[in-house]
Amino acid sequence: MNDMNAIEQWGIFEIALEGPQTGNPFHEVELKAIFAYHHRQIEVDGFYDGAGVYKIRFMPDSPGRWKYTTQSSCQALHGKQGEFTCIPVSQGNHGPVRVRNRYHFEYADGTPYFPFGTTCYAWIHQGDELEEQTLETLKQTSFNKIRMCVFPKHYIYNANEPVYYPFERSETGEHDFMRFNPEFFRHLEKRVAQLRDLGIEADIIIFHPYDRWGYASMDAEGDYRYVRYLISRLAAYRNVWWSMANEYDFMLSTKPMAQWDAYFRIVQEHDPYQHLRSIHNGEFEMNYDHTKPWITHVCVQHWDVKKVKEWRKKYRKPVINDECEYEGNIPLPWGSITAQELVHRFWIMVTNGGYAGHGETYLHPEDLLWWSKGGILRGESWQRIGFLQTIMKEGPDDGLEPMDASWEWTRVSGGMNGEYRIFYFGEHQPAAWSTGLPKGVEYTVEVIDTWNMTITLLEGTFKDAAEIPLPGKPYIALRIRPVKTSAKK
Amino acid sequence: MNDMNAIEQWGIFEIALEGPQTGNPFHEVELKAIFAYHHRQIEVDGFYDGAGVYKIRFMPDSPGRWKYTTQSSCQALHGKQGEFTCIPVSQGNHGPVRVRNRYHFEYADGTPYFPFGTTCYAWIHQGDELEEQTLETLKQTSFNKIRMCVFPKHYIYNANEPVYYPFERSETGEHDFMRFNPEFFRHLEKRVAQLRDLGIEADIIIFHPYDRWGYASMDAEGDYRYVRYLISRLAAYRNVWWSMANEYDFMLSTKPMAQWDAYFRIVQEHDPYQHLRSIHNGEFEMNYDHTKPWITHVCVQHWDVKKVKEWRKKYRKPVINDECEYEGNIPLPWGSITAQELVHRFWIMVTNGGYAGHGETYLHPEDLLWWSKGGILRGESWQRIGFLQTIMKEGPDDGLEPMDASWEWTRVSGGMNGEYRIFYFGEHQPAAWSTGLPKGVEYTVEVIDTWNMTITLLEGTFKDAAEIPLPGKPYIALRIRPVKTSAKK
């Protein structure tokens, strides 16, 4: 039963064991494994995968020799021992993402990670053809995160039945919340793995209120079982983030506030890798207290992107405004901003030391709206968001801190790191600029047209409060770098 | 000495008396008149106009016979009696502006007044040629208010000496703050009268910090003398509003907060007509408490126009955001927004039940920036602001109240009055709309392109939550009127 193949660092080592099929193996059989690396021990939950097969998945974080022993309430699964070799990473595998420099992110190998994500809530419930098209589209973009629901979605423009159901389902459509559907989860895992191979983080939305099947109104015990099962299956995927819910606050009547803390406790206790954790609000007041220690970063839904400095100050964690409204034209305010406006909001979030998320909601005769179903992108913001991402990657590894709180920098946006600066003027069209510049060094200035995606190096170098000539049109940014290190901070 | 000519209602009746020239007549001679209309008596301060001439100006508010008696510390000016006839108004004279319906304005004759003002702070200090050009330009626009300083201005793009000085000035440039310069004030009055004849309210800025002559740092007694003198000369002009200061909070080191209350007390006690009174902030926190009863309306400087509902709720008075940044291209955030952005901000202010002010700051080789010196308009927002004004005039006399505080209406803007609605979508481009519509009546819908200044009546009529087709582009507004009264509320 031991897999002796070499496993890549942050890859998945999987143990499969034969066991009983009688009773309800999902809940009646306890199974875990203790993985050991030198003197370090890591406890990992197993899960029942149907048809008498029990599995334990593990993501090793260090190259070298790993050993394990299983523990189970079932004799057939208990005391199994084995070992495997973890080998150094291959190209493109940087490990899971974690927080860096308080407000920013990096991969486990230290490579900076700047989240530029999109949203396809129910993309894994659309059938292979559309799902493969979604992956193909993602490959053309530079999005490195995607917000996606585990459960299927019932909402406007989302009337179709899913291909797979997460629980066993009778012919009359009744769900047995005591029995998971392994086929459903294998499909989810396949998509998560494909995202991983594209370098995309899967921001897994564990609960959401858009439901007609009863998944949003299971009782607390059912929810806890589901969260544990999900963790046991998915945590070993290095590209997983836990988004406890989308619009959790629209479910407070059935899932009161204390219950949300309980979900987080379960995730915190059972996820051996401590993947990133957050929760997404529906109301503008973010009533879930994001200062709670199990929240690794702040997930925001808010159109008013200039609040980013406030959120940073209040929570002192990375801020991702995953829903600063979507590019589109549906008859709802959250899904009808112009591409230019979404790009504008991205620039404001990012130059103020936060991050933002993309979504697209253009009406479609067959209700194929990217924001929910995936498919193809029809808009014009995604390319510009990719352009901004490139600029961030070329900037300081530790990310940007917002310019001070003085009056100028609430009107225009500026981010800095040492002598490095990015200014973004948005709806302002000054013919020149001379405020907030680095002092005492010679620097170069590039004029960035955020919409037309051009970068123009200004002739010569500048010093102190030099007057920098600008094109006098809106949506312009400046990249200011000290001469000695212009190539990279 | 009695002027027996008929005086129009809200016109100016002026008494001129010969008196002593010795000593300091500006301060050593007390003079007032009691005007009587039937049993009503109104006390009016007189002033010294130089060369031995003392004047008392009075604005009668009711047609009919008025009598007066002077009172003075000087025998030559005391006990003068007279009378005059006040005749009904001629066309275009609606009297002074006052508050209507808590958040809005009207003229004294009941005609609604929707403030759409501009800003030319120092226009009366530029010499006749430019000043007459400013008046000519104003005639071409529909601006009905102008923010203007009494004192000359020293600031960026404002280096020129004024033509007139408000105080007597020695050949070496020393000012005698004890002696006013009547010539200065006669010039000011001439300009105020010209504005009145163009139907423009003069929002008179009494103090401002942009100074090199010492006017901003007179002592308290000097300030009080000046405020009284100004009132005695200007209050009889029906188009006067009192703006206690521009950016009062940049003068707190020399004029502490309590002193600002004292200025208002003087104005409240000495202005017989209770012209509108407010004060303009520099800092984003409006630390002068606009709930104080002598503040008639809230004057705001703030780029964040979506706060208008907050300000209305907090102060429960009309809100005019006189400085929501200016159209222009100077290298400062407050003077470099695009024309489109300024028009956008006007629409947000107005559809949320507030008002906004215009200003233009395009760089000019001779520093002729409209915002300060007047001259000609070079921008593109003023025409669109006029277009919005026309729409407001065609709407309900009682003005607009913002749509409720629910989440939609913080993202898009909507104003209503009964079944009348104006929605403004701004950066949103929905292909259709069906929220917030009047219930139970048939209504017509017009699609307004706020930038191109077109109004397109949609075919047919609509009812309840009908889906209204929209052009799917930004900066669109809707005018929704019940069929029975489509022409006018």
Q: Under DSSP, is residue A116 helix (H, G, I), strand (E, B) or coil?
A: coil
Chain B (344-383) residues lying within 8 Å, Cβ to Cβ, of chain A = 363
Confidence band of B2 (pLDDT split at 50, 70, 90): very low
Partner-chain contact B425 A306, CB within 8 Å: no
Closest CA to B160 of B217, B230, B213: B213
Q: What is the mean pLDDT of chain B?
A: 96
Q: Is there a contact between B24 and B202 (Cβ–Cβ < 8 Å)? A: no
* Chain A residues with beta carbon closer than 8 angstroms to that of B341: 427, 474
Please state at what angle helix A257-270 crosses helix A220-234, rounded to 10 degrees: 30
Determine, for residues A337 and B429 on separate chains, whether the beta-carbon distance falls below 8 Å.
yes
Question: What was the pLDDT predicted at B3?
Answer: 46
CB atoms B429 and A338 under 8 Å:
yes
Residue in B closest to A363 by C-alpha: B431
Which residues of chain A neighbour B431 with C-beta distances below 8 Å?
A: 329-331, 336, 363
On chain A, the residues whose CB falls within 8 A of the CB of B410 are: 284, 303
Q: How confident is the model at residue B404 (pLDDT cuts 50, 70, 90)?
A: confident
| 8 Å CB contact between B32 and B44 | yes
A331/B432 CB distance under 8 A: yes
Interface probe with B: pick from A424, A428, A470, most Cβ of B within 10 Å: A428
Residue with tokens 């001469």: A483
Q: Which own/partner contact pairs does B72-78 have at CB distance under 8 Å and 24+ positions apart? A: B72/B19, B72/B29, B72/B30, B72/B31, B72/B32, B72/B46, B73/B28, B73/B29, B73/B30, B73/B31, B74/B19, B74/B20, B74/B29, B74/B30, B74/B31, B76/B17, B76/B18, B76/B19, B76/B20, B77/B17, B77/B19, B77/B29, B77/B31, B77/B46
What's the CA gap between A60 and A86, in Å, rounded? 7
In sequence order, what DSSP letters do the residues of A215-229 get, joined into one string? GGG--HHHHHHHHHH
Do A325 and B411 lie within an 8 Å CB cutoff? yes
Contact assessment for residue B263 and residue B284, using Cβ atoms and an 8 Å cutoff: no
Would you state the pLDDT for residue B115?
98
Tell me how far apart the alpha carbons of residues A166 and A36 are, in angstroms, rounded to a whole number. Answer: 33
Q: Does B21 touch chain A (CB under 8 A)?
A: no
Low-confidence ranges of chain A (pLDDT < 50): 1-3, 486, 488-489
Question: Looking at the complex, does the CB of residue B343 fall below 8 Å from at least one CB of chain A?
Answer: no
Q: What does the pLDDT read at residue B1?
A: 37
Tell whether B336 lies on the interface with A, counting CB pairs under 8 A: yes
Closest residue in chain A to residue B436, using alpha carbons only: A332
Residue B147's pLDDT band (boundaries 50, 70, 90)? Answer: very high
Residue of chain A whose Cα is closest to the Cα of B467: A331
pLDDT at site B455: 98
- Rounded-to-integer distance, Cα A62 and Cα A70, Å: 20
Contact B37, B66 (CB under 8 A): yes
Q: What are phi and psi of A251, to 5 degrees?
A: -120, 10
Of all residues in chain A, the one with the smallest CA distance to B284 is A407
**What is the rounded distance in angstroms from the CA atom of residue B381 to the CA atom of residue B249?**
29
Residues from chain B that touch A408, judged by Cβ atoms under 8 A, are 332-333
End-to-end CA distance of chain B: 50
- Please, which residues have CB within 8 angstroms of residue A466's CB and are 6 or more apart in sequence? A434, A437
How many residue pairs from chains A and B have C-beta atoms closer than 8 A? 94
User: What's the one-letter identity of residue A341?
Assistant: E
CA distance B117 to chain A (A): 22
Flag whether residue A429 sits within 8 Å of chain B, measured between CB atoms: yes
Residue A52, by phi and psi: left (phi above 0), alpha (psi -120 to 50) or beta?
left
Distance CA B329, CA B343 (A): 16
Crossing angle for the helix pair B381-393 and B339-351, to the nearest 10 degrees: 20
Q: Are residues B341 and A427, on separate chains, in Cβ contact within 8 Å?
A: yes
> Would you call B284 an interface residue with chain A, using a CB distance cutoff of 8 Å?
yes
Amino acid type, A99: V
- Contact list in A for residue B340 (CB cut-off 8 A) is 427
A373 close to A130: Cβ distance less than 8 angstroms: yes
Dump pLDDT digits (tens) for B22-45: 999 999 999 999 999 999 999 999
Q: Can you tell me the ipTM of this complex?
A: 0.93
Q: Which of B337, B435, B474 sits opposite A427 (nearest CB)?
A: B337
Interface check A303 vs B, CB under 8 A: yes
Q: For B278-315, how does the pLDDT look when each residue is reduced to its tens digit (9 = 90+)?
A: 999 998 888 899 999 999 999 999 999 999 999 999 99
Q: Does A334 contact B at CB distance below 8 Å?
A: yes
CA nearest A341 in B: which residue? B427
